[in-house]
Amino acid sequence: MALDDRKSEFTFVGTRPDRPDGLDKVTGRAKFGADMSAPGMLHGAILRSPHAHARIVKIDTSKAEEHKDVKAIVTRADFADVPFKPGLEGEFWNVLENVMAGDKALYDGHAVAAVAATSALAARDALKLIEVEYDVLPHVTDVDKAMAADAPVIREGAADYSVPQGMHPNVVRYHESGHGDVEAGFAEADLVIEDSFVTEATHQGYIEPHACLGALGSDGKGELWCCTQGHWIVQKTCAALLGIETSQLRVTASEIGGGFGGKTTVFIEPVALALSRKANRPVKIVMSRSEVFRATGPTASASMDVKIGMKKDGTITAAQGIFRLQGGAFPGAPGDMTAMCAFAPYDLTNVRQVGYDVMSNRPKQAAYRAPGAPMGAFAVESVLDELCNQLDLDPVDVRLKNAAQEGTKASYGPRYERIGLVETLEAAKAHPHYSAPLEPGQGRGISCGFWFNHGGETSVSLALSEDGSAQVMVGTPDIGGSRASMALMAAEVLGIPYENIRVTIADTASLGYNDVSHGSRVTYASGLATIKAAKHAVEKLCERAAAKWGIPVDAVKWQDGCAVPSGPNAGDFDPMPLADITADMGRTGGPISGHFEATPEGAGVSFGTHIVDAEVDPETGKTSITRYTVIQDAGKAIHPTYVEGQFQGGAAQGIGWALNEEYIYGDDGRLQNSIFLDYRIPVASDLPMIDTVIVEVPNPGHPFGVRGVGETGIVPPLAAIANAVSNAAGVRMKQLPMSPPRILAALKANG
Which position among 3, 30, 553, 583 is part of the footprint of another protein (CB under 8 A)? 30
| Closest C-alpha to 715, from 330, 298, 368 | 368
Over the window 193 to 232, marking each residue x when it contacts another protein by CB under 8 A and - when it does not, the resulting string is -----------xxxxxx-----------------------
Q: Is the distance from CB of 52 to CB of 139 less than 8 angstroms?
A: yes
Q: Which stretch binds another protein (CB under 8 A): 24-32, 131-139, 558-566, 594-602?
A: 24-32
> Quick one: how many helices (H) and strands (E) in the chain?
20, 26
Q: Should residue 442 be labelled a site residue for another protein when binding is judged by CB under 8 A?
A: no
Number of residues that bind another protein (CB under 8 A): 59
Least Cβ distance, residue 533 to another protein (angstroms): 25
Distance from chain centroid for Cα 630? 19
**Segment holding 136, helix H or strand E:** strand 131-136
* Residue 30 φ/ψ region, left for φ over 0, alpha for ψ in the -120 to 50 degree band, beta for the rest: beta
| Closest C-alpha to 201, from 371, 339, 340 | 371
Distance from chain centroid for Cα 309? 33
Which position among 182, 506, 581, 681 is part of the footprint of another protein (CB under 8 A)? 681
| 3-state SS, one letter per residue, for 392-418 | CCCHHHHHHHHECCCCCECCCCCECCC
**Segment holding 380, helix H or strand E:** helix 373-391
Least Cβ distance, residue 250 to another protein (angstroms): 22
Which position among 189, 460, 690, 743 is part of the footprint of another protein (CB under 8 A)? 690
Q: Should residue 255 be labelled a site residue for another protein when binding is judged by CB under 8 A?
A: yes
Q: Should residue 260 be labelled a site residue for another protein when binding is judged by CB under 8 A?
A: yes
| Closest C-alpha to 332, from 175, 134, 193, 540 | 175
Which position among 7, 145, 179, 289 is part of the footprint of another protein (CB under 8 A)? 289
Centre a 10 Å sphere on the Cβ of residue 192 and count the other Cβ atoms it contains: 17
Over the window 466 to 495, marking each residue x when it contacts another protein by CB under 8 A and - when it does not, the resulting string is -------------xxx--------------
Least Cβ distance, residue 256 to another protein (angstroms): 6
Least Cβ distance, residue 695 to another protein (angstroms): 19
Q: Should residue 16 be labelled a site residue for another protein when binding is judged by CB under 8 A?
A: yes
Q: Should residue 675 be labelled a site residue for another protein when binding is judged by CB under 8 A?
A: yes
Q: Should residue 118 be labelled a site residue for another protein when binding is judged by CB under 8 A?
A: no
Which position among 6, 22, 417, 539 is part of the footprint of another protein (CB under 8 A)? 22
SS3 478: coil
- Indicate the residue among 375 and 690 with the shorter CB distance to another protein: 690
Q: Should residue 28 be labelled a site residue for another protein when binding is judged by CB under 8 A?
A: yes
SS3 9: coil
Which position among 6, 25, 55, 415 is part of the footprint of another protein (CB under 8 A)? 25
- Alpha carbon distances (Å) from 627 to 432, 437, 651, 737: 11, 12, 12, 19
Q: Should residue 298 be labelled a site residue for another protein when binding is judged by CB under 8 A?
A: no
Which position among 642, 657, 663, 665 is part of the footprint of another protein (CB under 8 A)? 642
The string of DSSP codes covering 258-290 is --TTTTSS-SSHHHHHHHHHHHTS-EEEE--HH
Q: Should residue 664 be labelled a site residue for another protein when binding is judged by CB under 8 A?
A: no
Give exposure, 391-409, as e/b (b: 16+ Cβ within 10 Å): bebebbebbbbbbbeeebb
AA letter at 349:
T
SS3 176: strand
- Indicate the residue among 564 and 687 with the shorter CB distance to another protein: 687
Least Cβ distance, residue 60 to another protein (angstroms): 26
| Closest C-alpha to 343, from 409, 426, 420, 418 | 409
Q: Give me the torsion for CA of 563, 568, 574, 577, rounded to 10°.
A: 10
Give 508's DSSP letter: T
Least Cβ distance, residue 339 to another protein (angstroms): 28
Least Cβ distance, residue 651 to another protein (angstroms): 6
- Indicate the residue among 256 and 339 with the shorter CB distance to another protein: 256
Residues 35-64 interacting with another protein (rule: CB under 8 A): 35, 37
Q: Is the distance from CB of 78 to CB of 19 less than 8 angstroms?
A: no
Q: Should residue 371 be labelled a site residue for another protein when binding is judged by CB under 8 A?
A: no
Q: What angle do CA 307, 435, 647 make, to 5 degrees?
A: 70
- Indicate the residue among 165 and 685 with the shorter CB distance to another protein: 685
Q: Should residue 256 be labelled a site residue for another protein when binding is judged by CB under 8 A?
A: yes
- Indicate the residue among 242 and 479 with the shorter CB distance to another protein: 479
Least Cβ distance, residue 750 to another protein (angstroms): 31
- Indicate the residue among 512 and 645 with the shorter CB distance to another protein: 645
SS3 146: helix
Which position among 10, 14, 15, 21 is part of the footprint of another protein (CB under 8 A)? 21
Q: Which stretch binds another protein (CB under 8 A): 335-343, 547-555, 556-564, 678-686?
A: 678-686
Least Cβ distance, residue 200 to another protein (angstroms): 18
**Segment holding 611, helix H or strand E:** strand 606-616
Q: Which stretch binds another protein (CB under 8 A): 238-246, 250-258, 530-538, 661-669?
A: 250-258
Which position among 27, 165, 218, 569 is part of the footprint of another protein (CB under 8 A)? 27
Interface residues toward another protein, by CB under 8 A: 16, 18-19, 21-23, 25-32, 34-35, 37, 119-121, 204-209, 255-260, 286, 288-289, 479-481, 641-642, 644-645, 648-649, 651-653, 675-677, 681-687, 689-690
